[in-house]
Amino acid sequence: MSERRVVMTGMGVVAPGDPGREAFWDLVSSGRTATRTISLFDPAPFRSRIGAECVFDPERAGLSYQEIRRTDRAGQFALAATREAVADAGIDPGVSPHRIGVSVGNGVGNAISMEQEYRVVSDNGRAWLVDHRYATPHLYSYVMSSSLATEVAWASGAEGPATVISTGCCAGIDAVGYGFDLIQEGSADVVLAGAADAPIYPITVACFDTLRASSTSNDDPERACRPFDRRRNGLVLGEGSAVFVLEEYEHAVQRNARIYCEVIAYAARANGYHMTGLKEDGREMGEAIIAAMAQAKLNPDDLDYVNAHGSGTRQNDRHETAAYKRSLGEYAYRLPISSIKSMVGHSLGAIGSIEIGASALAIDRNVVPPTANYTEADPECDLDYVPLTAREQPVDTVLSVGSGFGGFQSAIVLASIRDTARGAHRRRVAA
C-alpha cells in the first residue's frame, strides 16, 4: 500500500489576545505582544505576575450554556477552536463519523477548575478530608483531561479513535503527530488534532515561581518574554488552543478542499536524564530534529523557516541554539528561526499546536513571523532569530519544535503543496 499523505485543511485558534485564526495571525505577524499583568486572579503575592491571556468570552464564542457549565476554560478554548476549524474545512457530510478521529494535546488538564473546586471542597485548604457535598457534578470531567477529547468529538461528530495526548509541553506537537499517524496508518481519514491548556492560575504560577523559570519583568509585561535575547529572564505563561482538520490527501483533493500544508514528518525523543533540565550541548532536541528530517527525507537547506520552542529561559534557548547547529549544521546560521512565545507566551500543552498553526499560516501566506522583544544579541545564541519584524519571503517547508517537562522533545515538519521551484526540489530529493 502506498504511503497515505496527510494534509491540513482546516484551522481554528484561540490564542492570547483576541480569539480566532485571523486575530492570532494578525498579532504574531505584526510583532505585537499579548503579555500583560495577570488579570485572571490577583497576582500580587507571586514572584512572576505576567501572563498572556486570551480575551475570551465563551458565550460570544458560540458555546452553549451547558457546554460552558461542564467544561473548564481549557475545554472552552478547545470547543471554540474546533468549531472554527470544522467550519474552515467544511468537512464533507459524506465522511463517515467512524472515519473521523480526535487527538487533543494537553499538559495540565483542567487545572483552573481542579483548583477552584479544591478550594470549595477543602474550605480553602483547611480540610484534608475534603467535603464531597460541595463538589460540582462535573468534577470528574475535570480530573481526567480525557474530557477534552470527548468535547472535541462531540463538537465535530467524530466516532473514530479518540484520545488525549499528555506529554507536558510537547503535547501540542505530539497530538498532531498522533493524528498524522492515525491517518497515515489508515485508522482514520480525517482527524481533529490540536491542543488546549489554560494554566494561568495560582497553582501553576506558583510552580513556575518555585522553579524560578518565569520572567520577573513585572514592570514591563509587554516586553517580558525575550527569547534568545541576552537579557531574557524566563518564560511567560500563556493559554489557548489550536485545532486542525487533518485529512488524507486524496480525500481532500477529491472534495476540492483548500489545503494549508502537508504534514510530512514527525518525531519525538526523550532526554532520559532529567525532568526539567537540559544539557548545554543541545543533544536531545538535535536528535528529534535529525529524526524528523530523516523521515521527511530533507536536507537542512530544504527548510525555509524554523518555528522555535524559544521559551525565553536561559537554559532552553541555549540548548535549542546548540541543537540547531548540531542537527542543521552551517545552514542553521542562514535559516530564519523565530519564537512566537515572545508574543503569546508559553501555554504548556497547547503551545505546540498554536505554533503549528503559526507555521502553517507562514506557509499559507509566505510570511515568517518575528521574535518580538529581541534587541540584544547573546553570544550563546548567535543565529538569525528574525528580530521584531515579520519577513515576507517564500515559505514552503517549516520545522516546528518543542521541549517539555518530563524530558520530552518533539519535531514536526510541514510543507506547502504548491508546485514551486523549492517544493519541486524537495520532492526530487525525496524521490
Specify burial of residue 4 (Cβ count, 10 A radius: 0-12, 13-18, 19+): middle
Chosen residue from 42, 185, 220, 281 binding another protein by CB under 8 A: 185
253 binding another protein? (CB under 8 A): no
Residue type, position 169, single letter: C
Which residues fall within 8 angstroms of residue 94, CB to CB, at 6 or more apart?
Answer: none
Which residues fall within 8 angstroms of residue 143, CB to CB, at 6 or more apart?
Answer: 109, 110, 114
Decide whether 107 or 282 has the Cβ nearer to another protein.
107
**CA proximity to 397, closest of 290, 323, 287, 301:** 301
> Is 132 part of the annotated catalytic residue set?
no
174 binding another protein? (CB under 8 A): yes
CB of 25 to another protein, least distance (A): 30
CB of 294 to another protein, least distance (A): 11
Chosen residue from 40, 55, 114, 377 binding another protein by CB under 8 A: 114
Chosen residue from 67, 189, 364, 396 binding another protein by CB under 8 A: 189
Chosen residue from 9, 82, 106, 400 binding another protein by CB under 8 A: 106
| Piece of 84-92, 161-169, 217-225, 358-366 that binds another protein (CB under 8 A) | 161-169
Contact set for another protein, span 233-252 (CB under 8 A) = 248
427 binding another protein? (CB under 8 A): no
Of 169, 170, 225, 381, which one is the catalytic site residue? 169
In whole angstroms, how far apart are CA 86 and each of 266, 365, 397?
Answer: 23, 21, 25
CB of 155 to another protein, least distance (A): 9
In whole angstroms, how far apart are CA 374 and each of 39, 333, 387?
Answer: 25, 17, 5
> Is 225 part of the annotated catalytic residue set?
no
CB of 116 to another protein, least distance (A): 11
364 binding another protein? (CB under 8 A): no
Contact set for another protein, span 39-68 (CB under 8 A) = 45-47
CB of 369 to another protein, least distance (A): 28
1 binding another protein? (CB under 8 A): yes
Decide whether 61 or 108 has the Cβ nearer to another protein.
108
Decide whether 234 or 336 has the Cβ nearer to another protein.
234
Chosen residue from 13, 52, 80, 102 binding another protein by CB under 8 A: 102
Q: What is the spatial distance between Cα 178 and Cα 188, in angstroms, rounded to a whole number?
A: 11
86 binding another protein? (CB under 8 A): no
> Is 425 part of the annotated catalytic residue set?
no
146 binding another protein? (CB under 8 A): yes
191 binding another protein? (CB under 8 A): no
Site string for another protein, 328-357 (x = CB under 8 A): ------------------------------
- Positive or negative, the CA dihedral 393, 18, 174, 279 is positive
210 binding another protein? (CB under 8 A): yes
The residue whose grid cell reads 523565530 is 338
Contact set for another protein, span 282-301 (CB under 8 A) = 284, 287
| Piece of 16-24, 56-64, 116-124, 236-244 that binds another protein (CB under 8 A) | 116-124
212 binding another protein? (CB under 8 A): yes
255 binding another protein? (CB under 8 A): no
Show which residues are catalytic. 169, 309, 346
